Amino acid sequence: MENSTIYVPKLITKKENFAPGHRACIGCGEALAVRLAFKSIGQNVIVVNATGCVEIFTSQLPYTSWRVPWIHTLFENTAAVASGIESARKAMVRKGIIEDKNTKIVAIAGDGGTIDIGLQALSGAMERGHDFLYICFDNEAYMNTGIQRSSATPFGASTTTSPAGKESIGQFAWKKDMPAIAVAHNIPYVATANPSYPFDLMEKVKKGLAAKGPAYIQVLSACPTGWGCAGELSVKIGRLAAKTGVFPLYEVENGKYRITVDFPKLLPITDYTSLQKRFRHLNPEMLEQIQQKVIEKYEELKEKAEMSGCCCQAGTEE
Amino acid sequence: MSKRVGIEVSIALADVVGMANTDVVAAYPITPQTHIVEHLAELVADGELDAEYIPVESEHSAMSACMGSAAAGARTFTATAGQGLELMHECLYVASAMRLPVVMAVANRALSAPISVWGDHSDVMACRDTGWIQIFTENGQEVVDTALCAFRIAEDNNVLLPTMVHLDGFHLSHVIEPIMMPEQSQVDAFLPPNKYPFFLDPARPQAMGDFAPPAIYTETKWAQEVNLQKSKETILKAWKEFAEIFGREYKPVESYRCEDAKILLLTMGSYSETAMTAIDAMREKAECENVGLLRLRLWRPFPTDELRKAVENADVLIILDRALSFGSAGGPVGMEIKSALYDVSKKPKIVNFVGGLGGRDITVGNFEELIKKGIDIAGNGSENEFEIFGVRE
């Protein structure tokens, strides 16, 4: 496996379906994640994009960063639009109107567009079993509108609508467990990923595409602008999110959990939080509370993986 | 040859959507539209219509799925009513601006609160400015014919605009009427396959729905307006060709006993048939021999020229609105027509009534009363900008 990290990069396509020249912020983890994901996805795809950072920084009439067919309509309806495209192609292939080329439908959205306002449409599309891959690029707040909290914002993080203050600890609720919600829909594939582990991410995207039916991947995407860190720390912070257990990397294939990049000993969460301004106001008691929650959730996840009979795999993408 | 059958209007509408060989139906149940989508589900379940039926989880998703389907190049249909249409509201603007030719039947229904499943035009009037082509129907035959025309108009490559077919909830959607159902061969002769030119295709990547900065937004919106106004040519052409095949002719503004009429009543939708009976009665009783009826069929694009022509010899124009425009100077139709006639030098005196809200009947007797009251107000004036008809105060 260690050797593969030397050779695998050579096998990855040089072709960029997500073209350079977009207008993302410096160090944008989301732009990196989209680029890597679309190396796995290839060209035989139709992309449905929710309103959000990616939609804005990749489009502006008359320009586009997309070398694949791409459609954006609204914020909360991405999964529904994807289900319309999937159904249309199914009907048209059956009726001989178009050729069956096994074209994939990929919906992409941010955490707000997925976990808050788009949850109903996504739940509907997953429940109906449309054959599509939904990727949530989770930067843990409404970054496009100016860093407002979403239900994916982690506990304690300061945002413009959950500001830390004399009477406020910042974000008051724990991050909504969206992958668990996706799993509860009994879909064939659910995963978490993070562009700091590029091969893991690309492998999961491939699996999600290959799955027959709905697949959901939540990709933690560091946001230097919103998280308050230097642009060059984006990849490092992504790694620390996994190594501290704050955002574990796992997959759920047909209900079976597997931790794909495991760490026998988690680093303290302060290694992760101390690099970001959004957590700077937290006192040791608050940090300890978060630490306990992270350990508890990680243990839960490990238990699920063990129950599924899947071996955990030590982190190798170093 | 086509034959006349006694059939519920909603079922007939669904049958004709099936005969149009629709590819995708995405719909959510809401009274009084349900019979339409239930029957479509039945047609698909029985293998009589080869389509994908998407039972979405909301009307917002119904229209969103329809947008995706139309963008993929499929012939796409949905139906809704009242609150459902309002939940779709933001999607409606996007469907028209992105030139996605979805066809939608709206079983017009009052809006909450208080909740009412019964018919009026509050739902559609709130969607007046969404950029859709909108056609009102008077009876079951018109519903069937208009649905067929709607696909033809919406998908025409000179148009590519979503189109609403309005039928009054219950008063039209749930009645059984004698309807000449078309033959499949007639449908095929009239309605060519959908050839959406911009369909999403990996062989030809394109971006749809980019954001527009101030430097380009106005141009996109103006192009949309020009396109909607221009669609009237295609609508008229489609109706003409429809008449050639089916023998039934439709116009943007229909008139009844207007040749010698000095007093005109203007209605939309199914109440027009009751109004006709009232006009016959008034003429017979010699109470009012010069009364006639105008029916506004094409609501968007608004047929300004046809309307001006239709009222050029009238002294009084009595307009019945079936929706309130709260806090304004009249009903939505009344205000629009006043505006359309403002620049005309010789124009009738206009009296605007709002009535028939939330399914309340306007009977033949009521219409006679309304016309008489209108004539009285036209002669003697009123303190009000518009009148509410039949309210208990």
Which of the 8 DSSP states describes residue A113? Answer: I
Quick one: what percent of chain B has pLDDT higher than 90?
A: 98
pLDDT digits (tens, 9 = 90+) for B219-256: 999 999 999 999 999 999 999 999 999 999 999 999 99
Q: Hey, of A43, A45, A58, A74, which one would you mutate to test binding to chain B, going by the most B CBs within 10 A of its CB? A: A74
If phi > 0 it is left, if psi is from -120 to 50 it is alpha, else beta; for residue A129 that is left
Beta carbons of A91 and B51 less than 8 angstroms apart: yes
In this structure, how many other beta carbons lie within 10 angstroms of the beta carbon of residue A37?
28
Return the residue of A nearest to B90 by Cα. Answer: A74
**What's the mean pLDDT in B165-193?**
98
Rounded distance between C-alpha atoms, residue A79 and residue A126, angstroms: 8
Q: Which CATH architecture has domain A4-307?
A: 3-Layer(aba) Sandwich (3.40)
Is the bond leading into A214 cis (omega within 30 degrees of zero)?
no
Of A80, A87, A88, the CB nearest to B61: A80
pLDDT confidence of residue B289: 82
**3-state class of B296 per DSSP?**
strand
Largest CA-CA distance found in chain B, in angstroms, rounded: 70
Q: Considering only CA atoms, which of B269, B47, B237 is closest in space to residue B166? A: B269
In this model, does residue A76 exceed pLDDT 70? yes
Q: ipTM more than 0.90?
A: yes
pLDDT digits (tens, 9 = 90+) for B296-312: 999 999 999 999 999 99
Rounded distance between C-alpha atoms, residue B190 and residue B188, angstroms: 5
In this model, does residue A318 exceed pLDDT 90? no
pLDDT confidence of residue B288: 82
Lowest mean pLDDT among A256-260, A280-284, B188-192, B282-286: B282-286
Beta carbons of B22 and B49 less than 8 angstroms apart: yes
Return the residue of B nearest to A69 by Cα. Answer: B205
DSSP per residue over A232-287, as a string? GGHHHHHHHHHHTTSS-EEEEETTEEEEEEB-SSPPPTHHHHTT-GGGTT--HHHH
Return the residue of B nearest to A87 by Cα. Answer: B52
Radius of gyration of chain A (CA): 19
Of A59, A68, A74, the CB nearest to B210: A59
In this model, does residue A218 exceed pLDDT 80? yes
pLDDT digits (tens, 9 = 90+) for B110-149: 999 999 999 999 999 999 999 999 999 999 999 999 999 9
Return the residue of B nearest to A60 by Cα. Answer: B211
Rounded distance between C-alpha atoms, residue A188 and residue A2, angstroms: 29
pLDDT band at A313 (very low <50, low <70, confident <90, very high): low
E strand or H helix at B227: helix B214-246
pLDDT confidence of residue A4: 61
H helix intervals, A44-177: 53-58, 78-94, 111, 119-128
Q: Where are the domains of chain A?
A: 4-307
On average, the pLDDT of chain A sits at 95
**3-state class of A199 per DSSP?**
helix
Of A49, A66, A88, the CB nearest to B205: A66
pLDDT digits (tens, 9 = 90+) for A103-150: 999 999 999 999 999 999 999 999 999 999 999 999 999 999 999 999
Answer whether A84 sits within 8 Å of B98, measured CB to CB.
Answer: no
pLDDT band at A8 (very low <50, low <70, confident <90, very high): confident
pLDDT digits (tens, 9 = 90+) for A275-292: 999 999 999 999 999 999
pLDDT band at A156 (very low <50, low <70, confident <90, very high): very high
E strand or H helix at B78: strand B76-80
Looking at residue A206, its amino acid is K
Answer whether B211 sits within 8 Å of A84, measured CB to CB.
Answer: no
**What's the mean pLDDT in B288-294?**
93
pLDDT confidence of residue A1: 45
- DSSP bridge pairs for B54: B26
Beta carbons of A263 and A223 less than 8 angstroms apart: no
pLDDT confidence of residue A130: 98
All structural domains of chain B, each given as residue ranges with its CATH number in brackets, are 3-246 (3.40.50.970), 253-388 (3.40.50.920)
**What's the mean pLDDT in A222-242?**
98
Question: Distance from CA of residue A125 to its chain's centroid?
Answer: 18
Strands (E), B81-162: 103-108, 133-136
Rounded distance between C-alpha atoms, residue A58 and residue A120, angstroms: 26
In this model, does residue A316 exceed pLDDT 80? no
pLDDT confidence of residue A108: 98
Restricting to A residues 97-136, those with a Cβ less than 8 Å away from any Cβ of B are 97-98, 101, 103, 120-121, 123-125, 127-128
Torsion A238-A243-A245-A249 (CA) sign: positive
Model pTM score: 0.97
E strand or H helix at B77: strand B76-80
